[in-house]
Amino acid sequence: MDPLRPGTDTEEYKCWAVNSRSQRNSIFAMNHPTHTTLRSRRNWYIHSCYTSGDYKSCLAAIEEELVACAGLCEYPIYCKGLIMRHQGKVKESLQYFQAATSLSPHNVLNLKQVARSLYLLGKHRAAVDVYEETTKLGFE
């Protein structure tokens, strides 16, 4: 009989087995990152490329992430909208910000970017309406 392992018919063994399983699961979790962790890393990389002005690498990383998450990732869409607007493609940027808003309708930052793009397109009344909606949701 293993001195570190109690007899299988005892209550002590049941506790030992549960604890061993929990430890194995936590070790597995540390060595195998979850989708959330991977997405956070990718978002960090996208942010890093965007803030350094490396838009080509940023767009490539965004496309990879959008394929990986079937287009349901808010932050890459938001960043792509920023890049499109920076490149002068305001209509495209508006579409990306609206897509990000549809994924997270209560995110004030997305709504503010929608309003900004509308303003740049000369749709001032629509921009004011969106800004008013953001004040109802709160400030960030």
Residues 41 and 60 sit within 8 Å (Cβ to Cβ): no
Q: Among 3-12, 63-72, 90-99, 102-111, where is mean pLDDT lowest? A: 3-12
pLDDT tens per residue, range 13-62: 454 444 545 444 444 444 555 566 777 889 999 999 999 999 999 999 99
Residue 27 lies in a domain: no
> Does pTM top 0.75 for this prediction?
no
Residues 99 and 110 sit within 8 Å (Cβ to Cβ): no
Residue 7 lies in a domain: no
- What are phi and psi for residue 94, nearest 5 degrees? -60, -40
Residue 94 lies in a domain: yes
pLDDT tens per residue, range 98-110: 999 999 998 999 9
Give the domain extent around 76.
36-137
Number of domains the chain is built from: 1
Residue 80 lies in a domain: yes
d(CA 19, CA 95): 51
